[in-house]
């Protein structure tokens, strides 16, 4: 009887530990991209098979709203709330406005960044799609600063 109780207590303690470990992992290491509903936005000819280099949603209010939520779900954990970096990843408010900023942005969004076998940023293009990428860019441009 005593032995049975002891084991039960041990099992309970072990599973509590596992639960708290799992909780920690979710808080810090959740890298599963969260789907973004972009059905409200105009389609991009060619979809994900033909990536364009200029933001078609620049200044589009609906896109900016969708982009903000897409950013919060997929980028903020590294690039910071409101695009204000806490230092882990570059501060995206400083991305250049306009065409050259668009090109650099979409390149990183699509392919992420890896060097010497280390992934600094995971690729997002295939999973989230081009429409979500340009919506995020449209929102980021509203947060731009030169300071
Ligand atoms: C796991 C952390 C992480 C996530 C999530 C992440 N990034 Fe990044 N991102 C980085 C890091 C780190 C760099 C710098 C890469 C380097 O040093 O080569 C970077 C670089 C960039 C750059 C280039 C910035 C510059 O100044 O050159 C852009 C643009 C960018 N990320 C956009 C995004 C967007 C948009 C998302 C969400 C869809 C996102 N990132 C999600 C970590 C992340």
For ligand 1, the distance from its centroid to the CA atom of residue 103, given in whole angstroms, is 14
Q: What was the pLDDT predicted at 93?
A: 98
76-99 tens-digit pLDDT? 999 999 999 999 999 999 999 999
Q: Domain spanning 37-142: which superfamily?
A: Cytochrome c-like domain (1.10.760.10)
139 phi-psi bin (left φ>0, alpha ψ -120 to 50, beta other): alpha
What residue spans define the domains of the chain? 1-30, 37-142
Q: What was the pLDDT predicted at 8?
A: 56
The DSSP call for residue 48 is G
Q: What was the pLDDT predicted at 32?
A: 80
Q: Which of 137, 105, 106, 135 is nearest to 38 (CA)?
A: 135
For ligand 1, the distance from its centroid to the CA atom of residue 108, given in whole angstroms, is 7
Which residue positions in the chain have pLDDT lower than 50?
A: 16-29
Q: What was the pLDDT predicted at 117?
A: 95
Q: What was the pLDDT predicted at 126?
A: 95
For ligand 1, the distance from its centroid to the CA atom of residue 71, given in whole angstroms, is 11
Q: What was the pLDDT predicted at 10?
A: 52
| Pocket lined around ligand 1, Cβ cut-off 6 Å | 74-75, 77-79, 89-90, 92, 95, 105, 108-109, 113, 120-122, 124, 136
Which residue, judged by its Cα, is nearest atom 39 of ligand 1? 75
For ligand 1, the distance from its centroid to the CA atom of residue 94, given in whole angstroms, is 13
Q: Are 128 and 33 in contact (CB under 8 A)?
A: yes
């Amino acid at each position: 009887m005593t032995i049975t109780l002891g084991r039960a207590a041990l099992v309970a303690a072990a599973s509590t530990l596992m639960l708290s470990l799992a909780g920690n992992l979710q808080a810090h290491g959740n890298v599963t991209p969260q789907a973004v509903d972009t059905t409200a936005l105009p389609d991009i000819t060619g979809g994900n098979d033909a990536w364009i280099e200029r933001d078609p949603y620049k200044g589009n209010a609906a896109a900016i709203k969708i982009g903000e939520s897409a950013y919060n779900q997929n980028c903020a954990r590294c690039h910071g709330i409101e695009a204000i970096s806490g230092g882990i990843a570059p501060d995206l408010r400083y991305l250049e406005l306009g065409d050259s900023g668009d090109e650099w942005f979409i390149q990183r969004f699509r392919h992420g960044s890896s060097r010497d076998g280390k992934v600094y940023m995971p690729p997002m293009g295939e999973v989230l799609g081009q429409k979500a990428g340009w919506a995020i860019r449209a929102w980021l441009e509203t947060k731009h600063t030169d300071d």
